[in-house]
A and B are shown apart, each in its own frame.
Chain A
């Protein structure tokens, strides 16, 4: 075995899922004693690559070499035997068994055919010590907190003599202290000559522990760089596929540069009280004092990388998740939505990001899906008026150009774009005051995309307030009159009018600081305690 050969080398990895190319010729090399970051936005192919590396998927093209020898892993067990181990966010261990049993599950040391508990506990203790963990191997796994369970999963990998350890979003549910324990374990693995693949959306962590970074985008390899010396801004550009110099513009149906077009109008509107004001929203490590304001007729964009707290902000405002702190005003009135029903009654609407998981009711028709949120107003004594329902369904199918064989066609049979229009209509027929859109045009065809963008524009012009979360910078630049930028659950910048450029958004995503909002949220917290007893919006 030559020592110049990298520990693990993946070459030209290709994976196709029923006609859709998830990975196209991706390379990855891992050196001994290296912590290697793997980054990319949604659909970049990170998890597919990891699953191929660890034997959960078989590849459709390319080769994998472990210590110079070509390998074929038929299953995760296969990969584990060879020393390639993945530790996932949700730990797959047995909560009711002891730490030692979990570490040696399936390979318990035996004596006369029975488990040799003494030897197993001793060996487990040894591994834990090597990782610098003070855990009793005889403790029940369920008695440990989530961070320590993750460490046990790593210890299990180490017990296989793991050479490559993949950590997928390892810190997403850890506290600061627990993160430092994890870092310590990573450093020990590195010192022992193992390679660690580190997947995370938190830049601070990448720069803290990783040596090199591989960037994927839309199933393709963008590049591998040493992290030292790589500017955050360049990293964001690579992830999003933007050149720092030449940034394209003018591809969306917002049809104008909103920033410029509304420059004059906004000056007068500046005095007007905001339609929606959410201040100091806090929820665990996901949201840390985020403040959002939007006026009538304004489209406020919200930018940020995956995991920056965009969707969390929307869900908290809509009452789908509980905020630990913060307050929300709609039209000058304090609202305290405990459930989406409260927010809807107050005049909010929320088009969620994941159509399939959180939007459509697959077995129900277009008609029923469209009127789902409006049923209370369409029925008397609990009986739905079919005539009024049909009238609304017809009107909105025509207005939004929803293409379906009939209103009675099941929604799951429609294309993504048409499904999205039905979901948008679900909210518009409620005549909301404020509309929150989370990735309104993701995964839909160009035609429907333009129509939805034009519609949103029209709605805002008619006086609706809109908060638009989007990963598409063009959409934000051309659609919004202001853009709020989030990173790691904090508001790190706000751009207005002519300042809104793709370049500026990327800058803020990468380098913006959270200082500007500090005073504002401190004020908000002070007032929050005074009015926290305010009643929630009435239920219907």
Chain B
């Protein structure tokens, strides 16, 4: 091998090259389009603005969590604690509403971020495996949230807070009223794309996941980067927890965010961010989460048992991981 490039230079020019570089994400996009078009044609009532809104509302908490998860996974880590962080945020906001909405939201978000910071510190500072640290937090967080709620459902009435999960913006032309939480979700996705593409932090995340030793020698603060992604993941999980709580009009610490970490990880993987780290695509995660949601919703609409949806999801995850498998040189 002397000089020149190893890959065929032709694949690095033009549109084809860009699509090839997107690889798994491109595959996921094709899958999403096929699912969407297929359902529009063959599933009764699917092709309807209100149904689309419903899909977006359903996917919102998963999407928020998945954006944070994308960054965590890009560093080569994983965050299993997101569902429990949602529960903690939910319990704290509901039990503190008496002190005013602003205070309650602040407490909930600070607590969520604190949990993430502790995750990151344990993982980075003490070199404990991410899966163990966040598994511990998954268990402890859920327990703590239920203690805060004394094991009960805590209902509340606060129109301002409920606007977050039930409110509509609009009516806008063509689509009518748009749920507030969907706008929040789209803003977070856009911000996530921006962070990965345009900021120094986004590059540090990928560099740390791609080659930690090299990142360290290039002067990147590896600890700070890792702690930040876990804090961010928890912050977004906290936001998802608030939205879910607001939508329900009550805090159910035993159920909110249950198993959401699995949906989020699936969305990230299907979207083309490998679990080994070193790569991140928030666009892919957005697509991945939509694929999973459309499967759930359409199976529901067609009256196919939910269990079959799970089987199809599993198959899609396996295919995605197969496409991404490391190529042996």
Contact = CB atoms under 8 A, between A and B. Distances in A.
Given A340-B216, A406-B12, A364 B206 contact: yes
**Most chain A CB inside 10 Å of its own CB: which residue of B3, B5, B219, B278:** B219
B217 A415 contact: no
- Name which of A378, A383, A386 has the most chain B CB atoms within 10 A of its CB: A383
Interface stretch (B65-73, B135-143, B197-205): B197-205
Contacts of B304: none
Nearest to B204: A375
Nearest to B6: A413
B71 to A, nearest CB: 14
Interface string A393-423: 0000000000111101110011111100000
A389 B213 CA distance: 23
A362 B5 CA distance: 14
A101 interface: no
Contacts of B199: 379, 382-384
A363 B203 contact: no
Contact of A361 (B3, B7, B198, B278): B278
Nearest to A341: B219
A376 B211 CA distance: 19
B206 A413 contact: no
A229 interface: no
B214 interface: yes
Contact of A364 (B3, B210, B217): B210
A341 B261 CA distance: 34
B220 interface: yes
A426 interface: yes
Nearest to A401: B3
Interface string B172-201: 000000000000000000000000001111
Given A358-B214, A372-B203, A403 B220 contact: no
A538 to B, nearest CB: 13
B218 A415 contact: no
B4 A403 contact: yes
Interface in A331-360: 339-341, 343-345, 350, 352, 357-360
A339 B221 contact: yes
A426 B215 CA distance: 12
Sort chain A's interface into a size bin: 35 or more
Interface in B1-45: 1-7, 9, 12-13, 21
A398 to B, nearest CB: 16
Contacts of B210: 361-364
Contacts of A343: 219
A372 B207 contact: yes
A209 interface: no
Given A384-B198, A415-B3, A341 B221 contact: yes
- Pick the most buried of A341, A343, A403: most chain B CB atoms within 10 A of its CB: A341
A409 B12 contact: yes
Contact of B214 (A359, A447, A448): A359
A403 B3 contact: yes
Contacts of A233: none
Contact of B198 (A341, A363, A383): A383
Given A375-B203, A405-B13, A409-B12, A414 B216 contact: no
A15 to B, nearest CB: 19
A417 B29 CA distance: 37
Interface string A452-486: 00000000000000000000000000000000000
A405 B217 contact: no
B2 A384 contact: no
Interface in B210-247: 210-211, 213-221
A362 B221 contact: no
A445 B2 contact: yes
Most B Cβ at <10 Å: residue of A340, A406, A416: A340
Contacts of B21: 410
B216 to A, nearest CB: 6
Given A361-B210, A383-B198, A413-B5, A372 B218 contact: yes
B203 A384 contact: yes
Counting from the closest, the 7 A-B pairs by CB-CB distance are A405-B12, A341-B219, A344-B219, A361-B210, A375-B200, A373-B218, A363-B278
19 contacts: A340-B218, A341-B221, A360-B214, A361-B206, A361-B207, A361-B211, A361-B278, A362-B211, A362-B278, A363-B210, A364-B203, A368-B206, A382-B201, A383-B198, A384-B198, A409-B7, A415-B4, A415-B5, A416-B1
Given A368-B207, A445-B2, A448-B3, 8 more contacts: A339-B216, A339-B219, A339-B221, A362-B210, A364-B203, A372-B218, A405-B7, A409-B7
